[in-house]
Chains A and B, each alone.
Chain A
């Protein structure tokens, strides 16, 4: 009887824990969206931010976030896929492979502030670039690379072995088999993983504080020359992203409408990450369906 009672109490506790977790998430989302959506308007999204006055928007921050994300993925995806292919297809068990695995583990567990400091040391000071989009993107690459490598490796390992054997048995080289058979088959999972990683990169701030900086020069969105100082496309200009903006308005606190700007930005940020997540799932299932539908 006693143990029965204990069992019932324990079950109650576990249910309570589950409810707590659900409540935390529901509370967070409720707070973010209810508070945030009040402040989101077309004007908020399309006007530049202000350093001192109220009523600033997040146009440049939003653009910077997407642009840095784009540059980061442009660097990360090829290297990450290459690394994943190496680990899944070429790495032989041994010391070198163990070393690479350790490196991936180290890189993936580094605090993002430490990666930011490394970025400051190399991409800002040593190169003499100062705070730049490229420096930020390279720091985020270090942050993102381990995820991309692991995703690719797992995706390739999930491709049926007999497809690879079939291609090799036709007298096709390993590399050509990887390009034409293995990677296409692994593509849905790699894409899903890349989009999920993109969501993580999009919200990252600590690695960018000291690499891409806390300011954005006055941008002229009609100037598409990537070498011009005022062009939004210039990768050698400082760029404050949305996530960094939330932090900087709160800590520097110079504008009177900190709360409004931060709430609105948070909602936009979380919404974007949410869209990345849903997109990843949707694309994943879509491609999965198309690949199997003809069966």
Chain B
């Protein structure tokens, strides 16, 4: 059964590689394998991520979707023994290459984490932390970007009177939107979201989801989620992962209504996972 699936994905490879250089593509992943020491967590996947879309990565825990996500801005570099082979092409460069300036890359490919992780500083400083390092020192410019990114993150009205209060005084949902705001402040091209609302209550979750849909006008968004409804609500394309393999990658509508692989259907309908 599984071998059949593998064969299937392998067969599809040529089609996907041919689509790499279409204008819509922002990231082209080719034969990506990721290892933790000896253990292989991602088994040679290939897919194209489109510009200004929300791409959802779904699959059961340990299927490799988060590992894949973390390789896109090289966060896996932090894990001792983690190694990625293959290519992720971004603006004609393989970002897995040794020559990539990881720090510069992460400015363009931002990331928001599962648990809200604001710095134990003021709301204002949370946003200016990355900007100041990037060389923006002028107060007026900083003020401007802080307001702009908080507005985009739909947080401005809630916090504009207490910008200099600790970010830890915000609610969980506000903290997560602050984390999104500080990522936006860096003016990235791609935003990676690793289960951004799994730690939030339903109302905060709804706000974050609205925000994500709103953001795709300007950014390309890749989101890992465990929540099927969330994936179907907000994403345009969905990729289903299982045990390190990319089982199926298609428009969200197709994946949720008419998947071509049986495993996908079983997972979507909640039969395992």
Q: Do they bind each other? A: yes
Asked whether A169 lies within 8 Å of B80 as measured between CB atoms, the reply is no
**CB of A270 closer than 8 Å to a CB of B:** no
Asked whether A172 lies within 8 Å of B183 as measured between CB atoms, the reply is no
Asked whether B117 lies within 8 Å of A92 as measured between CB atoms, the reply is no
Question: Which one of A98-106, A173-181, A261-269 is at the interface?
Answer: A173-181
**CB of A166 closer than 8 Å to a CB of B:** yes
Q: With the chains together, A214 CA to B86 CA distance in Å?
A: 69
Count of A interface residues, CB-CB < 8 Å: 24
Q: With the chains together, A294 CA to B122 CA distance in Å?
A: 11
Asked whether A295 lies within 8 Å of B169 as measured between CB atoms, the reply is yes
- Partner of A162 from B117, B130, B168, B182 at Cβ < 8 Å: B117
Q: With the chains together, A98 CA to B260 CA distance in Å?
A: 54
Asked whether A176 lies within 8 Å of B119 as measured between CB atoms, the reply is no
Q: With the chains together, A181 CA to B108 CA distance in Å?
A: 21
**CB of A163 closer than 8 Å to a CB of B:** yes
- Partner of A170 from B80, B165, B169, B186 at Cβ < 8 Å: B186
**CB of B40 closer than 8 Å to a CB of A:** no
When distances are taken between beta carbons in the complex, the residues of chain A under 8 Å from B105 are: 171
**CB of B83 closer than 8 Å to a CB of A:** no
**CB of B104 closer than 8 Å to a CB of A:** yes
B118 to chain A, nearest CB (A): 8
Asked whether A170 lies within 8 Å of B113 as measured between CB atoms, the reply is no
When distances are taken between beta carbons in the complex, the residues of chain B under 8 Å from A292 are: 168
Asked whether B117 lies within 8 Å of A171 as measured between CB atoms, the reply is no
Asked whether B78 lies within 8 Å of A172 as measured between CB atoms, the reply is no
When distances are taken between beta carbons in the complex, the residues of chain A under 8 Å from B115 are: 162
Asked whether A165 lies within 8 Å of B75 as measured between CB atoms, the reply is yes
Are A173 and B133 CB-contacts (below 8 A) given A165-B78, A291-B120? yes
When distances are taken between beta carbons in the complex, the residues of chain B under 8 Å from A164 are: 78
When distances are taken between beta carbons in the complex, the residues of chain B under 8 Å from A167 are: 119, 129-130
Asked whether A166 lies within 8 Å of B179 as measured between CB atoms, the reply is yes
When distances are taken between beta carbons in the complex, the residues of chain A under 8 Å from B165 are: 294
The 7 closest A-B pairs by CB, nearest first: A171-B107, A170-B130, A294-B166, A162-B117, A169-B111, A171-B106, A166-B117
Name A's B-contacting residues (CB within 8 A): 92-93, 160, 162-173, 176, 180-181, 184-185, 291-292, 294-295
